[in-house]
Structure 1
Amino acid sequence: MPAVRYLRYVLPAALLLLPGLASAHVLDADLSKLSRTDVFLTYLKLGFTHILPLGFDHVLFVLSLYLLEPRLKPVLWQATAFTVAHSITLGLAMYGVVSPPPTLVEPLIALSILFVAIENIVVERLNPWRVVVVFGFGLLHGLGFAGALTSLGLPRAMFVESLVAFNVGVELGQVAVILLAWVLVGRWAADKPWYKRRVLVPTSVAIGLLAAYWTIERLS
């Protein structure tokens, strides 16, 4: 089955090569000259690009959540928990209520990806308690989003609106990842008896190896 061979070998290899394609955020617009609508759209775009293509670690986390049960409905509960959680910490961080150092947050984000990748390999099915775990990891990833947004800054006159726009952009990016995964994998492979052996396990191994590398790199 050519499609299965593609997913088994090419997809994990691509996951290991893609991080080199990301680049840093750039805010190349003079916000003082933009309308309120344009400022909102600017931060909406920044939020989206923080996931696609720049947020490769966040993409792998969302992809890992999806792959264990490759249908749209199960991942919605996890995505909702993740959204609520990262919205909380993103808002708290931008208002200065919490400010953990990136040297702590970034390795923990990598560890969260490694945890989910390993879980995908060892468990037989999606467990209800995973929603609670995802909520906890969402709090952590929200701090990572805050780090990127802090470096960009928020206009004082539209602080709340820009914060909301960035968060909505992040969500749109995550939804795009889920829908793409569904089109490429879940739509036709979810019910196949070989799915875990030929798709889930090799892809999760590749994600786990990359997450382990990130953890060590971010601790050094």
Structure 2
Amino acid sequence: MKKRSALLILILALTMSADAHSMEYDFSSMSKAHVFREYIKLGFQHILPLGFDHILFVLGIFLLKPKMKTVLLQVTCFTIAHSITLALAMNGLISPPSGIVEPLIALSIVFIGIENVLFSELKWWRLIIVFMFGLIHGCGFAGVLSEIGLPQKDFLTALIAFNIGVEAGQTAVILLAVVLFQTRFSEKPWYRKHVTIPVSICISLVAVYWTAERLMS
């Protein structure tokens, strides 16, 4: 437990500033295959190691009940939702301001963490909430991808590749969480009291800080 707690503290310390997204790339001279590979990499990097807020959201989803079915249902809702708004935003059909999106992303993490403390089972309305939050996170992904840019000749290829990279990053976070939080013990009476609730509270507290920081910036 001590090692796990130390790792958690390190993660939280590293996440105290979640604005590490600004990057510039020039893919104008690259082949379609090269663009595909590079945007997969960019999508992955936006989650690991740069997407601290998205990491905590996925951890919040995971910690409610670290069982395959529960996690898969939530991640599927989240993925479908953020894919929708990412595609809409990158095609110019919606343009939500980052000044609204970023605080809402932080608030979504606060909410998920608190909900983990109050409930121990997956409720049907949790899936709706995760879907709605996924729509917001998709706008956040679009903001980052807009800064990077998409090559006009390979627009769809790059968009799909970036989304694949994001999904790969989310999967990596979940696999790391399985190891970090020792989920083989998740059915033990002490697990919720000593792992799920304390970690969820920490996640919410970090997200409260982000919310205030983003509202004031």
* TM score, norm. by length of structure 2: 0.93
Aligned to 1:38: 34
Amino acid at match of 1:26: M
Structure 1 unpaired stretches of 5+: none
Verify the 8 A CA contact 1:12 1:202 in the aligned structure 2.
Answer: no
Verify the 8 A CA contact 1:25 1:50 in the aligned structure 2.
Answer: no
The Cα of 1:179 is off from its aligned counterpart by 1.3
After the TM superposition, which residues 17-56 of structure 1 pair with which residues of structure 2 at under 5 Å, given as runs? Answer: 17-19=13-15, 23-28=20-25, 30-56=26-52
**Identity in percent:** 53
Aligned to 1:88: 84
* 2: CA distance, partners of 1:189 / 1:215: 33
* 2: CA distance, partners of 1:25 / 1:166: 15
Aligned to 2:163: 167
* 2: CA distance, partners of 1:21 / 1:130: 27
Match of 2:129 among 125, 130, 133: 133
Amino acid at match of 2:6: V
Q: Alpha carbon RMSD of aligned pairs, Å?
A: 1.6
Do residues 72 (structure 1) and 76 (structure 2) align?
Answer: no
After the TM superposition, which residues 172-187 of structure 1 pair with which residues of structure 2 at under 5 Å, given as runs? Answer: 172-187=168-183
Deviations 1:147-166 (A, max 9, x none): 00000110000001100000
* TM score, norm. by length of structure 1: 0.92
Aligned to 2:144: 148
Structure 2 unpaired stretches of 5+: none
* 2: CA distance, partners of 1:134 / 1:157: 34
After the TM superposition, which residues 96-115 of structure 1 pair with which residues of structure 2 at under 5 Å, given as runs? Answer: 96-115=92-111
Aligned to 2:12: 16
Q: How many aligned positions are there?
A: 215
The Cα of 1:187 is off from its aligned counterpart by 3.7
Aligned to 1:201: 197
* 2: CA distance, partners of 1:121 / 1:201: 5
- Determine helix, strand or coil for the equivalent of 1:33: coil
Verify the 8 A CA contact 2:55 2:170 in the aligned structure 1.
Answer: yes
* 1: CA distance, partners of 2:157 / 2:11: 34
Amino acid at match of 2:69: K
Verify the 8 A CA contact 2:24 2:147 in the aligned structure 1.
Answer: no
